């Protein structure tokens, strides 16, 4: 059976050039902290990767902290900057964030609330999931205890792009550091760290064709950050541990490909996505496209609510037909929870359960869109009947 | 056939799934999430709905190369099984939640969803045999679970499959090991899955609260006070809070529970003996109600509690005359009727014991 992979927001296949670059490093060996020839060679590759990644993302090489992925980058930024700010002034204990962040941010914040006495203010989001700079300004004006602001660049479920530069400029007015989880944005929209005005920005390689288990935190030199991992003092003492040279090289190679090809890629998958959305809205009744429209949406994202359906039933029916997509979020036991993102956007739990995300990526094709449009109407019909059958059972 | 296998993460349903794959069916595994707050760590070997059990089931499904999903039935399970269990105890009854779960969840909510989504049958890891609509005891008498399936209607059974009922448990474990399934050595689950501590009285007490009453003997003398009838079940001897045996020197048992007055009646062993039963909500496995008296064996507990009997359906109630007395029979328990057969007793039907 031919499968149509439409879950690139979960992870996207590695670019062959990234695999090639990594493989070359893996055969070479060497610890980048060692002083002999092997070490020097590894260190040179690591620093080249740092320079390349920095160049692609508008950062200085010294601002790149390599990590083991997006979750670590988010945790390091949220906890590390919180601790550093509180160390500088004990009253700085408030984190301003949004209810639609990835759990890597939300749960790190919650942990700080439970264990470190942090306070939280959640910024409101509109029905599309967008945060307004005015709302941030109001919160910053109302509190003098803010340690940091964290707002994602683009939402992983509904694809809405946040006005990061405007938000960062508001944060700067109040002299509060701002972090952004840009994990879904890189490779889909232009991301320039310096131009953004952010203090910190999270990167995950596997979302743009690099290897899983590799990421980075872009961190301004003047933003203090207490480390999570203590040890050998690598990565300017913010992130100890023997660096994953091959991973860093693979990430840098992928970044080069996606940043260089950004405009053409966004135009191509944006057109595919538009065809998918138009087809779904035309062929199926009672369906809603969630998230922002036009330029405020990631080009590869299509997120729908099919009224009267349970998303996990729909997911199974599509899986059986070779369509690979996602309900957006799942816990480790695999129980579908109503999406916290949709709930924050004002959806009721029942319709939040009936949602599916299709996310397109670099190897998506017209055939993938055709496959979805061929299978989806009947699957939705069947899932709706199943929901009725379950609901009809007497209690 | 398209077969959905309910995979708990235990050895039995794992082998059931493997056998369905071997039989050439198009198989999908589904783990039913039944707890609203699944634990993150296993506590002992108990429970059928922890994250770890879901992970075990997923691992088996991956080895079998079948799709696997977790379906959330926690709300339904709470309404139809847990709340029912608590309310039944509060009424002075002794319910069997596994029976309820099969009746209302596995072969009702799960099956309805499966059929609506295009499956032809639901398979489980129960020890029972089902051929041509005839439900019989498992080959392994010690593991036989036909009792907890006795409440299923002919319609429910028409799309059920029990792939392991023809095999003794030790061979199922061996088969799991031979197939390389890591669950081969996983301990059996015995207790009520939603009471992982095993302390039913504490579980009920936390939900029902304190409803004091008296423990009285046949003469009406108050022997003790208690915190609620939910702490008692008919036939219970320990934990009655009374000093020693009765005046005849014989042990005393709970012989009756009156939830309205909070009275727990105690008496001697002879007072426990029951010679007749009445069952409500009868189910006939063949789909055809009894016409006239039927010779059968009645079973009133998951393990044991058997007696020869004559059953007759009158005015929608099953009236049972026992050929030999049964002890410790409580309202709320399920009675399952069997036709004795050397090749495996056949389930004829069931009812909920009213008195």
Q: What residues of B are in contact with residue A319 (Cβ under 8 Å)? A: 67
Q: What is the pLDDT of residue B43?
A: 36
3-state SS, residue A283: helix
Q: pLDDT > 90: what percent of chain A? A: 89
CB burial readout A359-393, b (16+ within 10 A) else e: bbbbebeeebbebbbebbbebbebbbbbbebbeee
**Tokens of residue B104, six digits:** 């209302």
pLDDT, tens digit, 9 for 90 and up, residues B155-169: 999 999 999 999 999
The verdict on a CB contact (< 8 Å) between B31 and A334 is: yes
List, in sequence order, every beta strand (DSSP E) within chain A.
Answer: 4-5, 64-67, 94-97, 119-122, 146-150, 178-181, 200-204, 215-219, 287-289, 301-306, 323-324, 355-359
Confidence of residue B37 (pLDDT cuts 50, 70, 90): low
DSSP lists the bridge partners of residue B312 as: B319
Mean confidence (pLDDT) of chain B: 90
Name every residue whose Cβ is closer than 8 Å to that of residue B310 and which is 6 or more positions away in sequence.
B293, B294, B295, B296, B320, B321, B323
pLDDT, tens digit, 9 for 90 and up, residues A4-49: 999 999 999 999 999 999 999 998 889 999 999 999 999 999 999 9
DSSP lists the bridge partners of residue B311 as: B294, B320
Q: pLDDT > 70: what percent of chain A? A: 96
Q: Could you tell me the end-to-end alpha-carbon distance of chain B, in angstroms, rounded to an integer?
A: 43
Chosen for mutation from A333, A338, A382 (greatest number of chain B CBs closer than 10 Å) is: A333
Q: What is the pLDDT of residue A264?
A: 97
User: What distances in angstroms separate CA A181 from CA A75, A177, A203, A228, B302, one per listed residue?
Assistant: 10, 14, 7, 18, 55
A93 is catalytic: no
Q: What is the pLDDT of residue A312?
A: 85
pLDDT, tens digit, 9 for 90 and up, residues B257-304: 998 899 999 998 888 889 999 999 999 999 999 999 999 999 999 888
Instruction: Cite the active site residues of B.
Output: 101, 193
Q: What residues of A are in contact with residue B38 (Cβ under 8 Å)? A: 333, 335
Phi and psi at A5, nearest 5°, equal -85, 110
Q: What is the pLDDT of residue B65?
A: 97
The verdict on a CB contact (< 8 Å) between B117 and A317 is: yes
Q: What is the pLDDT of residue B241?
A: 82
Q: What are the residues of chain A with a beta carbon less than 8 Å away from any beta carbon of chain B?
A: 312-313, 315-317, 319-320, 332-336, 382-383, 385-386, 388-390, 392-393, 395
User: What is the C-alpha separation between B150 and B153, in angstroms, rounded?
Assistant: 8
Q: What is the pLDDT of residue B192?
A: 84
The verdict on a CB contact (< 8 Å) between B33 and A333 is: yes
Chosen for mutation from A321, A335, A387 (greatest number of chain B CBs closer than 10 Å) is: A335
Q: Which of A10, A311, A334 is nearest to B59 (CA)?
A: A334
Confidence of residue B171 (pLDDT cuts 50, 70, 90): very high
pTM of the predicted protein model? 0.88
User: What ipTM, to 2 d.p.?
Assistant: 0.85
Q: What is the pLDDT of residue B42?
A: 32
The verdict on a CB contact (< 8 Å) between B67 and A389 is: no
Q: Which residue of B has its CA nearest to A310?
A: B71
**Tokens of residue B27, six digits:** 């198989």
Answer yes or no: is pLDDT of A176 > 70. yes
Q: What residues of B are in contact with residue A332 (Cβ under 8 Å)? A: 51, 55
Q: What residues of B are in contact with residue A385 (Cβ under 8 Å)? A: 116
Q: What residues of A are in contact with residue B71 (Cβ under 8 Å)? A: 312
Say which of B38, B51, B80 has its CB closest to residue A395.
B80
Answer yes or no: is pLDDT of A305 > 60. yes
């Amino acid at each position: 059976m031919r499968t149509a992979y439409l879950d690139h927001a979960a992870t996207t296949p590695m670019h062959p050039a990234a695999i090639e670059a990594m493989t070359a490093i893996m055969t070479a060996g060497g610890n980048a902290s060692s002083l002999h020839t092997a070490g020097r060679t590894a260190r040179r590759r690591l620093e080249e990767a740092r320079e390349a990644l920095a160049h692609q993302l508008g950062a200085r090489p010294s601002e790149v902290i390599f990590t083991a992925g997006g979750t670590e980058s988010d945790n390091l930024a949220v906890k590390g900057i919180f601790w550093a700010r509180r160390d500088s002034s004990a009253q700085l204990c408030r984190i301003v964030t949004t209810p639609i962040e990835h759990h890597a941010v939300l749960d790190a914040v919650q942990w700080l609330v439970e264990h470190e006495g942090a306070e939280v203010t959640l910024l409101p989001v509109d029905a599309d999931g967008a945060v307004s700079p005015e709302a941030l300004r109001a919160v910053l004006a109302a509190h003098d205890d803010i340690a940091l602001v964290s707002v994602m660049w683009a939402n992983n479920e509904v694809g809405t792009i946040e006005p990061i530069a405007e938000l960062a400029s508001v944060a700067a007015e109040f002299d509060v550091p701002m972090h952004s989880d840009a994990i879904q944005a890189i490779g889909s929209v232009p991301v320039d760290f310096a131009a953004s005005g952010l203090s910190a920005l999270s990167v995950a390689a596997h979302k743009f064709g690099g290897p899983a288990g590799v990421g980075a935190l872009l961190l301004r030199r003047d933003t203090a950050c207490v480390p999570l991992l203590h040890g050998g003092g690598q990565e300017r003492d913010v992130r100890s541990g023997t660096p994953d040279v091959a991973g860093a090289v693979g990430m840098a190679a992928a970044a080069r490909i996606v940043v260089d090809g950004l405009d053409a890629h966004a135009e191509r998958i944006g057109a595919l996505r538009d065809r998918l959305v138009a087809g779904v809205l035309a062929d199926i009744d009672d369906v809603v496209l969630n998230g922002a429209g036009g330029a405020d949406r990631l080009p590869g994202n299509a997120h729908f609510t099919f009224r009267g359906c349970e998303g996990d039933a729909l997911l199974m029916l599509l899986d059986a037909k070779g369509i690979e997509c996602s309900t957006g979020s799942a816990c480790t036991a695999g129980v579908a929870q109503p999406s916290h993102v949709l709930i924050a956007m004002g959806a009721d739990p029942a319709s939040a359960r009936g949602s599916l995300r299709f996310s397109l990526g670099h190897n998506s094709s017209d055939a993938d869109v055709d496959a979805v449009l061929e299978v989806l109407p009947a699957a939705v019909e069947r899932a709706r009947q199943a929901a009725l059958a379950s609901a009809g059972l007497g209690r | 056939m398209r077969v959905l296998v309910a995979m708990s993460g235990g050895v039995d349903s794992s082998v059931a799934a493997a056998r369905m794959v071997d039989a050439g069916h198009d198989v999908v595994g589904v783990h039913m999430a039944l707890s609203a707050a699944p634990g993150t760590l296993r506590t002992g070997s108990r429970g059928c709905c922890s994250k770890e059990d879901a992970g075990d089931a997923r691992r088996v499904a991956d080895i079998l190369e079948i799709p696997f999903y977790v379906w959330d039935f926690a709300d339904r399970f709470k309404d139809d099984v847990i709340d029912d269990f608590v309310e039944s105890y509060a009424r002075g009854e002794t319910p069997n939640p596994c029976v309820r779960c099969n009746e209302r969840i596995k072969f009702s909510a799960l099956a309805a969803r499966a059929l609506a989504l295009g499956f032809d049958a639901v398979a489980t890891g129960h020890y029972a045999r089902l051929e041509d609509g005839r439900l019989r005891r498992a080959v392994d008498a010690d593991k036989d679970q036909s009792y907890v399936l006795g409440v299923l209607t002919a319609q429910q059974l028409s799309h059920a499959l029990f792939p392991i009922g023809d095999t003794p448990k030790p061979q199922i474990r061996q088969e799991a090991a031979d197939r390389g399934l890591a669950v081969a050595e996983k301990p059996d689950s015995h207790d009520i899955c939603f009471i992982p501590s095993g302390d039913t009285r504490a579980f009920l007490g936390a939900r029902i609260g304190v409803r004091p009453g008296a423990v009285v003997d046949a003469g009406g003398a108050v022997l003790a006070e208690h915190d609620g009838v939910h702490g008692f079940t008919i036939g219970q001897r320990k934990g009655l809070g009374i000093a020693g045996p009765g005046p005849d020197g014989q042990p005393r048992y709970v012989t009756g529970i009156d939830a309205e007055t909070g009275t727990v009646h105690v008496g001697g062993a002879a007072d426990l003996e029951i010679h007749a039963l009445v069952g409500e909500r009868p189910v006939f496995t063949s789909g055809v109600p009894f016409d006239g008296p039927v010779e059968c064996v009645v079973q009133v507990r998951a393990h044991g509690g058997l007696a020869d009997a004559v059953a007759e359906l009158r005015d929608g109630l099953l009236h049972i005359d026992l050929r030999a007395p049964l002890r410790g029979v409580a309202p709320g328990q399920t009675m399952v009727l069997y036709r004795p057969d050397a090749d495996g007793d056949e389930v004829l039907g069931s009812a909920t014991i009213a008195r």
